[in-house]
A and B are shown apart, each in its own frame.
Chain A
Amino acid sequence: MSAIAEKVWDVVVVGGGNAALCAAIEAAESGRSVIILEGAPKTYRGGNSRHTRNFRCMHRGPLSVLTDSYEEDEYFDDLIRVTKGNTDEELARLAIRTSEKCLPWMEAHGVRFQPSLSGTLSLGRTNAFFLGGGKALVNAYYNTAADLGVEVVYEAQVTHVEIEDGRFNAVEVEIAGGAKQRIEGRTVVLASGGFQGDIDWLARAWGPAARNFLIRGTPYNRGVVLKDMLDQGADSVGDPTQCHAVAIDGRAPKFDGGIVTRLDCVPFSVVVNKNGERFYDEGEDVWPKRYAIWGRLVAAQPDQVAYSIIDSKSANLFMPSVFPAVQADTLEGLAEKMGLPAGKLRQTVDAFNAACRDGTFHPTELDGLATEGVEPQKTNWARPITDPPFYGYSLRPGVTFTYLGLKVDETARVTMGGRKLENVWAAGEIMAGSILGEGYLAGFGMTIGTVFGRIAGQQAAKGAVRGENSHAA
């Protein structure tokens, strides 16, 4: 390992996900020497990118697998809607505009796209799906990087970024739990993600309830580099207390459950907390527009858990889930199996059923089939829960990412005390809070990572040349 510590690298890339790889590939293609320090072992490389599946892409006409067109203003409007305006317009528009050129670049660097997946047809115009998902994309980029001579070190946890007088000199890194080493570089790209893998940090930020949250992605995003930079005075963006959490299957693993833990049954169900009480309109909108708020709703319930209950009428109306539903022939039986108070559940469901009205049920659109006289009201898809067998799923908040990040400019340069650092750039989740201040737009994380990863890599490559010249002079 000492070999990598003996030379001065042109570009040190901290992290090993999409943004890091895009940066490394760009810098290597400029002829720079590049080292990737990936915190995860090889089998788990790629950070949260390995769980992604698509890239939201602007296009003025049909492009690769994308149909029709998706222009800048529509894209930006979509972003404004989910972030409620909590975005940096200049950076957001830069990401959106550049995305169109990124898709062919991705294809040229090994990424394969497939037509929109079954069950996601609504995204066929706006989002290009990776064949095989994000891990296949990550694999393709690692292969491309290897072909370009990029050095990759796995299980390399960077513990400190050495910055003196606004200038980066080296990183301190522990490789496979070994002794600290110092790796010198002319420039650095920080692309090591958020801090959602550090439960203690989450609990400090959000409150003790966060200990009951599940983390949908990698356990390796522990925010070590982010914290180190903030401790040194790097400027931050994003609400430090907030994370993006969606409602997922409560039986999912603590980490890395990914896409399969999603549960789409809520709109067709009644959702109760552990006391058997309903607490929110389950039919407010179609699920793709509501799954994100349910993360917060469940987080606010006792023990951060909720239970979605359907009857046989609705059993096949949503994408199959990875865990089989708990099933019983009576509501009381279901309550017992799920550890819910049977009497109270019966009372809640009876009250709900009595409030259901006749009308036409339409599972794929807002059908206006609403309850009357029950609180909270269910405003769509309200059908009585009456036909056995009954099915239940537990729900817990599943954290996707955290908002706190490093502030960057349009060249992905990191600032400290309002002053640009000479040779430090950031890309991906670690700076996404600049653009995604709130909410989430499907496939936009990969857009930010790709656009700013490439920019950071290009800038670092130029910076390394400058650094070399100034040292030679």
Chain B
Amino acid sequence: MPLDQTRTELSTTEEARRQIEICNACRYCEGYCSVFPAITLQRSFSDGDITQLANLCHNCRGCYYACQYTDPHEFQINLPKALAEARTESWERFAWPGIFSGLFQRSGVAVVAALIAGFALLFWAGQALRPESGEGFYAFLSHSVMVAIFMPAFLLPLLAIALGLRGYWSEVGGASVRLSHLKRAFAEAARLKDLSGGVAGGCNFEKEDRYTNVRRWHHQAVMYGFLLCFASTGSATLLHYVFDMPAPYGLFSLPKLLGIPGGLLLTLGGLGMAVLKTRGEKELGAPALWGGEMAFVLLLSFTGASGLALYAATGTALVGILLPVHLGAVLAFFLTAPYTKMVHGFFRLAALVRNAQMQEK
């Protein structure tokens, strides 16, 4: 059966499988990332295997530029794209509730709409539920209102993502997780090992077949920036409830020491990712998602920037505007998270854990 006979009729999963089987007969790319060593463990690939490999791929693109079978070769290999599309489809399959599947991931407009809705809600809350008294930003929105809005806006998406991960784990045939799997997976995620190009010392993105680390560094900035911001909020929650030390906090407090560098990293990293995105070849990812991904990364960056602006405006009247703007962005980010590119972090981590299991066998 010639390989090119029925390609146009193949489903996303079948197309990814077709390409992976060619890769498994070649194996030139073993040194780039975790995907190829994982491919060599098997001879045939179930739908679950394809899902696992697709989520293991970090879209570093090294394999595409190294491949002697890319267009116009009749084998038509474009593995980064095939896996990006299979990956996206898997996230949509696991999205809960299914009604939101694909909405924010595919549409930048929907992300912007969510953002505007977030602003609107917070401005309304600021007007309608304005506290009688309060210090710092609590003068504009009381702690109890914030908790009432953000507690469910944080927990519900987490629940949705957890359900999605459960679906993922079952589809890829995951086994029970041991500490060694987690250690390996977190170590790889922390270094973004699979965006490093292995011994290439860089991935291929904004400079075509030249290896650079620019995208990886920007991604690191976003990832660690986000985690620092998250830790900042977490520390503030602890200070509030455990140590009875409500906001506002000074510069040398834990929330600020974590939040300011976090916000800077998130803002600049996100902007950098957005600029890089305009330079990378669209056809090596999932082109239909470009708008949704761009909106997501800009939303992240905006969330960071508005948080910093809010802090900078401390004590001025601007807080009354910046507070709902920042919180509106945070709200939009959290509520859409199970249905935006945000889920990639969770599914990739799950894929790394599963890969640790597979490689251990």
Q: Which chain A residues have a beta carbon within 8 Å of chain B's beta carbons?
A: 43, 50-51, 53, 112-115, 117-119, 129-136, 139, 143, 251, 253, 256, 258-260, 262, 316, 319-324
Contact = CB atoms under 8 A, between A and B. Distances in A.
Contacts of A253: 74
Given A43-B70, A135-B68, A117 B43 contact: no
B78 interface: no
Given A119-B27, A132-B31, A322 B22 contact: yes
Contact of A118 (B3, B27, B32, B71): B27
Interface in B15-30: 21-22, 24-30
Contact of B25 (A132, A256, A260): A260
Q: For the complex, would chain A's binding face be called helix, strand, loop or mixed by DSSP majority?
A: loop
B199 interface: yes
25 contacts: A50-B68, A51-B68, A112-B200, A115-B31, A117-B28, A118-B40, A129-B31, A131-B200, A132-B32, A133-B28, A133-B66, A133-B68, A135-B66, A136-B28, A136-B65, A136-B66, A139-B66, A143-B209, A143-B210, A251-B1, A258-B26, A258-B68, A260-B22, A323-B1, A323-B3
A131 B197 CA distance: 10
Most chain B beta-carbon contacts within 10 A, residue among A119, A131, A253: A131
B63 interface: yes
B29 A132 contact: yes
A43 B28 contact: no
A134 B68 contact: yes
Closest 9 CB pairs of A and B: A132-B66, A114-B31, A133-B28, A136-B66, A260-B25, A322-B25, A139-B209, A131-B31, A135-B68
Contacts of A316: 43
A259 B28 contact: yes
Nearest to B70: A43
Contacts of B70: 43
Contacts of A322: 3, 21-22, 25-26
Nearest to A316: B43
Interface of B: 1-3, 21-22, 24-32, 37, 40, 43, 62-63, 65-75, 198-201, 209-210
A48 B199 CA distance: 24
Nearest to B37: A118
A363 to B, nearest CB: 15
A114 B199 contact: yes
Contacts of A135: 65-68
B73 A256 contact: yes
Nearest to A114: B31
B183 to A, nearest CB: 23
Contact of B2 (A112, A130, A251): A251
Contacts of B40: 118-119
Nearest to A131: B31
Given A132-B63, A139-B209, A323-B1, A117 B27 contact: yes
A51 to B, nearest CB: 6
Given A320-B24, A322-B22, A133 B29 contact: yes
Contacts of A262: 25
A315 to B, nearest CB: 9
Contacts of A130: 28
A98 B74 CA distance: 38
Contacts of B63: 132
Contacts of B198: 114, 131
Most chain A beta-carbon contacts within 10 A, residue among B1, B43, B69: B69
B215 to A, nearest CB: 18
Contacts of A258: 26, 68-69
B30 A114 contact: yes
Nearest to B201: A112
Given A113-B199, A114-B30, A132-B29, A43 B22 contact: no
B14 to A, nearest CB: 13
Nearest to A113: B199
A316 B65 CA distance: 30
A143 to B, nearest CB: 6
Contacts of A319: 25
Contacts of B37: 118
A112 B62 CA distance: 12
Contacts of B1: 251, 323-324
Nearest to A217: B68
B310 to A, nearest CB: 45
